[in-house]
């Protein structure tokens, strides 16, 4: 086996040193009746070239070469080449969690820089070293708010990613945290009146997403006011990190739960991604996850360590703020390198291009069909309502090697024949034009919806 660095003679010598004759004797502690006396049913040992062939073949069966208009929590942005060059360095790739600070300063300093940049972009004071993804970060941020307020019930915006809502429901089930959902108005944003009515003295926090699942930017200040007036916290989920280049961060939030996948992380069929939680300094001791802090060594030299570990499971066991142990360090490094490459000016310019592409695409679709939530500002995503079932439109587009917007019927039946379309800087004008053309191919499939002026959005 090519990964094993021992010759038969080595094994013999080692057995002899231990005082054994056969390897089987090493397994004597396992009762004989449970030992496996056959080969595992796994593929036979393959050569490297065969493994590469196998995955290339799977890749060809996996949407290779399609133009996609999918977003909805997973975004296709350009990944600078140096991200992979740098994360492929074995010293990053094959290192463990940096508990031994003296020989982990590379990882520790890079996380410290990551935490700093996340703070700069979110306008928060502290950020952790990463969480599994945006959905679990949102659930953990809510649990943090529950601990901080001593209240238990939670209001969740219906415009939050539906899968994030499902994850929160799973986490909340056994925490005694009643969840209620707050609907959206005609502009696709949280309905403030409804929110005002549903908030109670028991509300620990309001959880929203901005830009929300429909791509519209929430009125964070107004929502924060309602939450804070009632002694509740505001937790804001950000799923499209590139928006932070041009959209005001939710400064009024108490906790931000982010998905940083947009910053240089491949789509990868849904993971691994990079969640992160950012908050105010005064809340740091209730934060879940690892934190890197700056300190000095015995000679007074600057160095970095994992800190505030008394929040964590390996110290506090059942009293920890979370059970999280392994996080997304290498993915956070991708994010870190991406943020460094684009930096202060590039991120803004990049976000602007995203804005322009989306504005163009939304405009082209609006000429043909009905653009929902047109009244609110948006980033990267927009909802198009059609007469024809979006599934049928998408089937037609697929023949042209185009993956259309995400049909919303499964998540938002009240929106009827609606789909969520997404553009990024990688979307081309030609791509947009041919998608609009193919979508409108069946006469009137888009136009009719507009003319019939499909009735108002339900909540």
Residues 125-164 that bind other proteins (CB under 8 A): 125-127, 129-130, 132-136, 161, 163-164
Interface stretch with other proteins, choices 148-156, 181-189, 321-329, 438-446 (CB under 8 A): 321-329
Q: CB count, 10 Å around CB of 432?
A: 22
Q: Which of residues 183-212 bind other proteins (CB under 8 A)?
A: none
- Two tokens at 277? 């939680």
Q: Is residue 165 a contact partner of residue 138, using CB atoms and an 8 Å limit?
A: no
- Residue 26: what are its φ and ψ, rounded to 5°? -65, -25
Q: Does 325 bind other proteins (CB under 8 A)?
A: yes
Residue from 144, 207, 256, 329 binding other proteins (CB under 8 A) = 329
Complex with other proteins: residue 158 or 454, whichever CB lies closer: 158
Q: Which of 248, 282, 452, 458 binds other proteins (CB under 8 A)?
A: 248
**Of 190-198, 224-232, 345-353, 382-390, which segment contacts other proteins by CB under 8 A?**
345-353
* Number of residues binding to other proteins, judged by CB under 8 A: 198
- What separation in angstroms does the CA of 328 have from each of 265, 389, 433? 11, 39, 38
Q: Does 231 engage in binding with other proteins (CB under 8 A)?
A: no
- The nearest distance, CB 140 to other proteins, in angstroms, is 10
Q: How far is it, in rounded angstroms, from Cα 161 to Cα 412?
A: 11
Q: Judged by CB, which is closer to other proteins: 197, or 302?
A: 302
- List binders of other proteins among 356-375 (CB under 8 A): 356-357, 359-360
In whole angstroms, what is the distance from residue 2 CA to residue 203 CA?
58
Please state the closest distance from residue 29 (CB atom) to other proteins, in A: 4
What beta strand segments (E) does 341-404 contain? Answer: 370-372, 381-385, 402-403
Could you give the CA distance from residue 207 to residue 177 in angstroms, rounded to a whole number? Answer: 13
Q: Measured from the CB of residue 125, what is the shortest distance to other proteins in angstroms?
A: 8
* Distance in Å, CB of 452 to other proteins, minimum: 28
Q: Is 247 in the site for other proteins (CB under 8 A)?
A: yes
Would you say 182 or 340 has its CB closer to other proteins?
340
Please, what is the end-to-end C-alpha distance for the chain in angstroms? 60
What are the strands of the beta sheet with 381-385, ordered from one edge?
370-372, 381-385, 418-422, 406-407
């Amino acid at each position: 086996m090519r990964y094993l660095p021992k010759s038969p003679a080595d094994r013999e010598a080692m057995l002899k040193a231990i005082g054994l004759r056969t390897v089987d004797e090493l397994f004597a502690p396992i009762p004989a009746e449970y030992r496996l006396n056959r080969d595992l049913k796994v593929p036979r040992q393959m050569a490297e070239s065969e493994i590469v062939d196998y995955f290339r073949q799977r890749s060809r069966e996996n949407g290779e070469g399609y133009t996609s208009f999918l977003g909805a929590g997973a975004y296709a942005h350009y990944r600078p080449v140096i991200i992979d060059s740098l994360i492929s360095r074995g010293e990053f790739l094959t290192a463990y969690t940096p508990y031994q600070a003296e020989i982990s300063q590379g990882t520790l300093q890079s996380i410290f820089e990551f935490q700093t940049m996340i703070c700069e972009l979110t306008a928060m004071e502290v950020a952790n070293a990463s969480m599994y993804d945006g959905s679990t970060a949102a659930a953990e941020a809510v649990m943090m708010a529950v601990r901080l307020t001593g209240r238990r019930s939670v209001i969740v915006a219906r415009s939050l990613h539906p899968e994030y809502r499902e994850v929160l429901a799973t986490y909340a089930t056994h925490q005694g945290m009643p969840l209620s959902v707050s609907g959206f108005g005609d502009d696709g944003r949280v309905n403030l009146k409804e929110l005002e009515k549903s908030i109670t003295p028991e509300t620990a926090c309001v959880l929203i997403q901005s830009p929300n699942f429909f791509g519209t930017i929430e009125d964070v200040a107004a929502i924060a006011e309602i939450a804070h007036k009632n002694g509740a916290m505001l937790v804001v989920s950000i799923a499209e990190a590139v928006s932070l280049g041009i959209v005001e961060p939710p400064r009024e939030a108490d906790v931000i739960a982010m998905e940083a996948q947009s910053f240089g992380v491949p789509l990868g069929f849904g993971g691994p991604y990079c969640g992160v939680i950012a908050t105010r300094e005064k809340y740091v001791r209730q934060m879940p996850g690892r934190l890197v802090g700056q300190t000095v060594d015995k000679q007074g030299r600057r160095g970095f360590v994992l800190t505030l570990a008394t929040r964590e499971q390996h110290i506090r066991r059942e009293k920890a703020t979370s059970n999280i142990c392994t996080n997304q360090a290498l993915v956070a490094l991708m994010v870190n390198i991406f943020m460094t490459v684009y930096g202060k000016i590039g991120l803004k310019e990049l976000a602007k291009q995203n804005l322009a592409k989306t504005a163009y695409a939304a405009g082209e679709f609006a000429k043909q069909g009905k653009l929902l939530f047109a009244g609110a500002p948006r980033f990267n995503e927009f909802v198009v309502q059609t007469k024809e079932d979006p599934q049928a439109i998408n089937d037609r587009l697929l023949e042209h090697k185009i993956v259309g917007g995400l049909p919303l019927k499964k998540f938002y039946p009240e929106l009827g024949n609606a789909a969520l379309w997404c553009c990024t800087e990688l979307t081309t004008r030609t791509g947009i034009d041919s998608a609009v053309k193919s979508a409108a191919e069946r006469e009137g499939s888009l136009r009719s919806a507009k003319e019939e002026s499909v009735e108002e959005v339900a909540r």
